[in-house]
Amino acid sequence: MNKPLIAGLLTLALAGCASSQPDQPFSLTVAHINDTHSHFDPSDVQLTLNNKTVYTRVGGHPRLLSYANQLHQQAAQTEQPFLLLHAGDAWQGSGYFKLNEGAMNVDLLNQLPLDAMVLGNHEFDLNNQRLSDFIDGVTFPIVAANLDVSQDSDLQAVENLTPYVLYAFKGDKKKRVNSVEDAGKYPVVAIMGLVLEDMANIAPNIGQAQFKQELVSAQQTVDTLTEQGVKHIIALTHLGLDKDQQLAEQVNGIDVIVGGHSHSLLGDFSQLGWEKNAPYAQQFTNPDGLGISCVVQAGKFAQAMGELTVNFTLDGQVTDCKGTNTLLVDKVFYNDVRRADKHRLTDTEQERITGFLAKQPNVALVDEDPGLRTYIDETYRPELLQTYGAVIGHVPSSLQHVRVPVANQGSQVAPLVAASQLYWANTPEVRGVSGREVDFALVAAGAVRNNIEAGELKAGHVGLDILPFVNAVSLVSLTGREVAGLLLETINGAIGDDTHAGQFPYVSGLRYTFNETRRGHGYLANIEYLHQGEWQRIIPDARYQVVLTGYHASGNDGWHTLFEAQQAETDRIDLAYVQDELTAFLVSRLSKNEQGAIEVHYQKQALDCQLPGVSCNADAQAFIDYVQARRPILTALPESGVTVNRLH
């Protein structure tokens, strides 16, 4: 869908008017999305309405398009200035992205009437040539004021990447302009982009791109725009809610901050059985004590769209900003997560629910755009369905992945992954190959990449979305002392300042209590493992059989204790599939090469995951087997085995 074209009268007027900006109040509506993560299809969700649990779908790009068109029509009817913005992380997050590597994002995002987008960290997941293709392919500007690509061969010549973009308005009609002078008497809104300054520590492939300080670049860009005569400035950011609030309190002159990265669905959704989050459109006073910045963000996965109306004084100061995030809900409801026809609610129940939801200020019952729905179904969905494969289970409600526990509320997914590896390693098939019985499992938080959303769980979801790294599974014996040392190393490494939370260890068949005495430091108060149905204390000099991924078994990702334990010799076994047959590869020791990379030395046949017929996705297969055999209705485990007490 093409953006609305500005009327010819406005085009002529902008070319011939004086450069002074109007001294009159101005009102602007900003619709926004963020962290859509290639969720082109709707998400399956659970809602609790008046103590009744129902299942439906929300969001997806066809529904975003329908709602964006509604908002455009409303703006046109009232001649209200209107913008639609994307706050980054369109990439990654679904099988569509794995199959199309950004090309589908170009295609689908161009269907939305977007006016600008900022780059998120996941836009750097592939390489800068792919990113260059994406930036040049979309029909709306990409903004990033603190990104320097002058030294990057793939991005330096990209024309559609700019620090900011200017739009001039005549009512609901808008035109992109190069300067305030080009706008003449019509009000101008600037949209500047801000990306993460520590992108190099987060994104895997940044090439030679350089990322400047967020606050410094923001103030410099605002000052430049103000000097040009711009009175209305929006910061389109992918920094996270906390940083957005800091931006509002430490930088002068930003009127609206439209953010992403932290997946914050601002507002109160408790009437749906969801969370009551921080308020939408909070206002923060700038450091000069005069200006006000309004901060918004719209959740994740194309489930909601934010809509903010900002009013300005004659001299461009914000007088008020009001609005809400709107959850975009389907009109069909079920009493079971499997959503078969037999689970569909009666017409009377449907009418009661739709009547209730229609009265909610932050919910909209929205049909998908039929043209875009058909286009996805015919062009992209057949390959996705073929790749995802069979349904292996059903998830009644979303399972959240939190890397480090907060108030002992940790990941619901990582303990299931650990449990799957412990179950799988002790199945007769695997024990027939390994010859071992495993005592417990360890999983690093960073090995798990996504929440598990409510609805059908297919085999492809596991390998493409949840555990996408293609890992062999390893069995290795460790002493109790080494297990304790590994836990201390990885917990302390994950909870301190400037640390890597992906190190944090989740477990199955093991439980521990860690007491943090000061930031990033603490001690293990208890370590026990489950032996013949009873919990027993770990003995320092005893040896235990542990299952974990091959990547972490080698000591990568901060699990250094494992590398130290296997330098001289090891009894480790790596398990992978060769011509669909589970095969054991015996490891003799570990070493490091001149670049510091860890190398695995095998006793006989080496495991090479790049060889034809070799499949190193044993961690994903273990999870699939576990769900099918033990947890076809997949819910969180009653206990995670992890207790973290903050004593300071």
Q: What gap in Å lies between CA 166 and CA 189, rounded to an integer?
A: 6
Q: How confident is the model at residue 338 (pLDDT cuts 50, 70, 90)?
A: confident
Cα 516 off chain centre by: 28
What is the predicted pLDDT for the residue at 206?
86
What is the predicted pLDDT for the residue at 500?
57
Among 363, 386, 409, give the residue marking a domain's end: 386
Do residues 237 and 342 share a domain? yes
Question: Strand pairing of 142-143 and 161-162?
Answer: parallel
In a domain, 597, yes or no: no
Neighbours of 636 (CB within 10 A): 15
- Provide the angle, in degrees to the nearest 10, between the axes of the packed helices 381-388 and 370-379: 50
Do residues 321 and 417 share a domain? no
CB-CB contact of 56 with 333 (8 Å) = yes
Q: How many domains does the chain have?
A: 2
Reported for 129-137, long-range contacts at CB under 8 A and 24+ positions apart, including other chains, are 129/154, 130/101, 130/102, 131/102, 131/155, 132/158, 133/102, 133/103, 133/106, 134/91, 134/102, 134/105, 134/106, 135/160, 135/161, 136/160, 137/103, 137/106, 137/110
3-state SS class at 392: strand
Q: How confident is the model at residue 595 (pLDDT cuts 50, 70, 90)?
A: very low
DSSP state, residue 272 = G
Question: Strand pairing of 455-458 and 43-49?
Answer: unpaired
What are the angstrom distances between the C-alpha of 67 and each of 27, 47, 256, 366?
A: 21, 21, 22, 7
pLDDT digits (tens, 9 = 90+) for 128-137: 999 999 999 9
CB-CB contact of 309 with 29 (8 Å) = yes
Give me the sign of the Cα torsion angle 167, 168, 174, 176: negative
What is the predicted pLDDT for the residue at 567?
94
Do residues 165 and 95 share a domain? yes
Strand partners, 103: none
Q: What gap in Å lies between CA 82 and CA 611, rounded to an integer?
A: 54
Question: Strand pairing of 521-531 and 534-537?
Answer: antiparallel
What is the predicted pLDDT for the residue at 13?
39
Residues contacting 638, CB < 8 A, separation 6+? none
Q: What gap in Å lies between CA 259 and CA 85, rounded to an integer?
A: 10
Do residues 457 and 525 share a domain? yes
3-state SS class at 643: strand
Query: What is the rounded radius of gyration, in angstroms, for the C-alpha atoms of the chain?
Result: 27
What are the angstrom distances between the C-alpha of 341 and each of 250, 268, 344?
A: 54, 32, 5
Do residues 411 and 485 share a domain? yes
The more confidently predicted of residues 293 and 499 is 293
Residues contacting 202, CB < 8 A, separation 6+? 121, 196
| DSSP state letters, 563-604 | HHHTSS----EEEEEETTEEEEEEEEEEEE-TTS-EEEEESS
In a domain, 23, yes or no: no
Do residues 368 and 480 share a domain? no
Burial class (CB in 10 A: 0-12, 13-18, 19+), 77: exposed
In a domain, 609, yes or no: no
pLDDT digits (tens, 9 = 90+) for 279-288: 999 999 999 9
What is the predicted pLDDT for the residue at 306?
98
Q: Which of 90-94, 369-373, 604-608 has the highest mean pLDDT?
A: 369-373
Among 386, 401, 430, give the residue marking a domain's end: 386
**178-192, 496-510, 540-554: least confidently modelled range:** 496-510
| DSSP state letters, 124-189 | GSS-HHHHHHHHHHSSS-EE-TTEE-TT-TTTTT-SSEESEEEEEEETTEEEEESSHHHHTTS-EE
What is the predicted pLDDT for the residue at 199?
85
Question: Nearest CA to 40 among 458, 468, 384?
Answer: 384
Do residues 557 and 541 share a domain? yes
Average per-residue pLDDT for the chain: 91
Q: How confident is the model at residue 592 (pLDDT cuts 50, 70, 90)?
A: confident
In a domain, 364, yes or no: yes
pLDDT digits (tens, 9 = 90+) for 4-13: 333 333 343 3
DSSP state, residue 446 = G
pLDDT digits (tens, 9 = 90+) for 357-403: 999 999 999 999 999 999 999 999 999 888 888 899 999 988 988 87
Give, in degrees to the nearest 5, the angle at Cα 137 between 133 and 138.
130
Q: What gap in Å lies between CA 260 and CA 35, rounded to an integer?
A: 6
Do residues 320 and 415 share a domain? no
The more confidently predicted of residues 24 and 110 is 110
Question: Strand pairing of 282-285 and 173-177?
Answer: unpaired
Do residues 412 and 367 share a domain? no
CB-CB contact of 260 with 119 (8 Å) = no
pLDDT digits (tens, 9 = 90+) for 65-76: 999 999 999 999
* Domain of residue 637, residue span: 391-569+617-646
Do residues 312 and 458 share a domain? no
Do residues 93 and 184 share a domain? yes
Q: What gap in Å lies between CA 230 and CA 517, rounded to an integer?
A: 51
Find where tokens 């071992």 sit: 436
Question: Nearest CA to 287 among 190, 350, 218, 224?
Answer: 218
The more confidently predicted of residues 592 and 202 is 592
In a domain, 548, yes or no: yes
In a domain, 334, yes or no: yes
3-state SS class at 199: helix
What is the predicted pLDDT for the residue at 231?
95
Q: How confident is the model at residue 20 (pLDDT cuts 50, 70, 90)?
A: low
The more confidently predicted of residues 45 and 564 is 564
CATH number at residue 237: 3.60.21.10
Give, in degrees to the nearest 5, the angle at Cα 7 between 69 and 1.
30
In a domain, 35, yes or no: yes
**10-14, 399-403, 439-443, 446-450: least confidently modelled range:** 10-14
Runs of H (alpha helix) within 280-406: 347-358, 370-379, 381-388
What is the predicted pLDDT for the residue at 235?
98
CB-CB contact of 165 with 138 (8 Å) = no
What is the predicted pLDDT for the residue at 35?
93
What is the predicted pLDDT for the residue at 594?
66
Among 365, 386, 407, give the residue marking a domain's end: 386
What is the reported pTM?
0.75
pLDDT digits (tens, 9 = 90+) for 464-490: 889 877 789 999 999 999 999 999 999
φ and ψ at 458, to 5 degrees? -105, 160
Mean pLDDT, residues 605-609: 92
What is the predicted pLDDT for the residue at 228?
96
Q: How confident is the model at residue 194 (pLDDT cuts 50, 70, 90)?
A: very high
Mean pLDDT, residues 435-445: 96
Q: Does the pLDDT value for residue 497 go beyond 60?
A: no
> For residues 553, 555, 561 and 566, what is the CA-based torsion angle, rounded to 10 degrees?
70
CB-CB contact of 453 with 43 (8 Å) = yes
pLDDT digits (tens, 9 = 90+) for 236-258: 999 999 899 999 999 999 999 99
What is the predicted pLDDT for the residue at 609?
87
CATH number at residue 511: 3.90.780.10
Q: What gap in Å lies between CA 525 and CA 123, rounded to an integer?
A: 42
CB-CB contact of 647 with 516 (8 Å) = yes
In a domain, 442, yes or no: yes
Neighbours of 588 (CB within 10 A): 15
Tokens of 446: 């960073």
Question: Nearest CA to 53 among 454, 342, 633, 461?
Answer: 454
pLDDT digits (tens, 9 = 90+) for 141-167: 999 999 999 999 999 999 999 999 999
CB-CB contact of 293 with 271 (8 Å) = no
Do residues 61 and 88 share a domain? yes
H-helix or E-strand spanning residue 623: helix 618-630
Q: What gap in Å lies between CA 106 and CA 205, rounded to an integer?
A: 19
Q: Does the pLDDT value for residue 203 go beyond 90?
A: no
